[in-house]
Amino acid sequence: MLRRFAIAAALLAASGIAFAADTPGVTATTLKIGNTNAYSGPASAYGVIAKTEAAFFKMVNEQGGVGGRQIEFLSYDDGYAPPKTVEQVRRLVEEDQVAFLFNTLGTPTNTAIHRYVNQKKVPHLLISTGADKWGDHEHFPWTMGYQPSYRTEAQIYTKYMLAQNPKGKLAILYQNDDFGKDYPAGVKDTLGDKYDATVVKVVSYETSDATIDSQITALQASGADFLLVAATPKFAAQAIRKVHELNWHPTFFLTNVSISVGAVMTPAGPENGVGIITTGYMKDPTDPSFNDDKGMNEWRAFMAKYIPGGDLTDANYVFAYGVSMVMWQVLKQCEGDFSRPNIMKQATNLHDAYDPVLLPGIKVNTSPTNFHPIKAMQLQKWDGKTWIRFGNVIEGS
């Protein structure tokens, strides 16, 4: 048995494919990638992201794999519950022996595991959350985000508010975790000592809450001219419906993680959200200006072949395709060396990495001191059918 293994290793070495027997998640023919997502629970609208990634790696395997290996994508349900995430990630790292984690979803869930994975020195890459802290390369050198910072997003909304009405009053609804808390923090970054005079009401909700109706009613009573909602899809849709039901007409800012037409705007009632302002960094599948776009046609062809019947109005499918493309670029740059240090090295050396579904002018770049791959966004407004972009692409800090 040992002799056969030695012969196989020698043949691989001769072919130029790096392989070490003690490299976790890597065999002569396979590469294991780990993932957790909310297939159930309050954020289950995001479950299609991991399903799309599984289909993407199936496509990669059909094209010959990467570095001479077929990808085994292991994705487990954590129900958006941090204790369950810890359990599932320990299973992936200690039992399944994955090479690295890719696009694990959620701010509270990733918060529960990122100290553990950094202690284990497991690459924790392109994770599906925009919390600002995922750029902390000094203290957590094995964790890297992907999408723009929530805190930067909130700064952009606040600057827009001040430009529209310098004396306007703002109310904020946020999810009571590190995802939601980045939004009032970003508002405070911009307002400084004017925060208390400008922000007239701040309320939070728990993911275990049945509705946020009482919170929206309290925010309306504050007399605010502007409303900022930092909520996951289920609660974002509820907020849109309740604001409309109350016949309240503030300038309404909505986090860009909850603007999928299929998952949020349609369930909320498309007509109920007219005028909502958000930021975008991806091409929206309902935007007619992208009907003949090369990158979106590439995505549509992928959907037709690998996810027939998938909701082509759901931007979560678009996001998953784009981030998977960037992950594929990292793996190709590894040139067959899938040791954890080299995977991390390549992830921190991306230069205009190919993501065909990013908005024009927005790029993916990383470095050993830049763990925020995407820093730019563009404001956009809901017209009842799609998101209409306006203004210039804005580069965050």
Per-residue pLDDT tens digits for 14-27 = 334 445 546 899 99
Report pLDDT for 206. Answer: 97
- For residue 160, what are the CA distances in angstroms to 70, 180, 227, 256? 47, 20, 12, 15
pTM (predicted TM-score)? 0.89
Report pLDDT for 6. Answer: 39
- What residue has token string 């776009």? 293
Give the list of residues 6+ apart from residue 234 with CB closer than 8 angstroms, or none. Answer: 42, 43, 45
Radius of gyration of the chain (CA): 22
- What residue has token string 């289909």? 55
Q: How many Å apart are CA 214 and CA 283, to the nearest integer?
A: 34
Q: 357 near 321, Cβ under 8 Å?
A: yes
Q: How many Å apart are CA 366 and CA 259, to the nearest integer?
A: 26
Q: Half-sphere exposure of 250 toward its Cβ, with a 13 Å CA cutoff?
A: 27
N- to C-terminal Cα separation, the chain? 55
Domains, the chain, in order of start with CATH, read: 2-148+293-376 (3.40.50.2300), 150-280 (3.40.50.2300)
Strands (E) in the chain, as ranges, are 30-37, 70-77, 100-102, 124-125, 170-175, 199-205, 226-230, 251-254, 277-280, 376-382, 387-389, 394-395
Q: 38 near 77, Cβ under 8 Å?
A: yes
Task: Give Cα 354 distance to the centre of its chain.
Answer: 17
> Which residue ranges in the chain fall short of pLDDT 70?
1-22, 396-397
Helix (H, G, I), strand (E, B) or coil at 338: coil
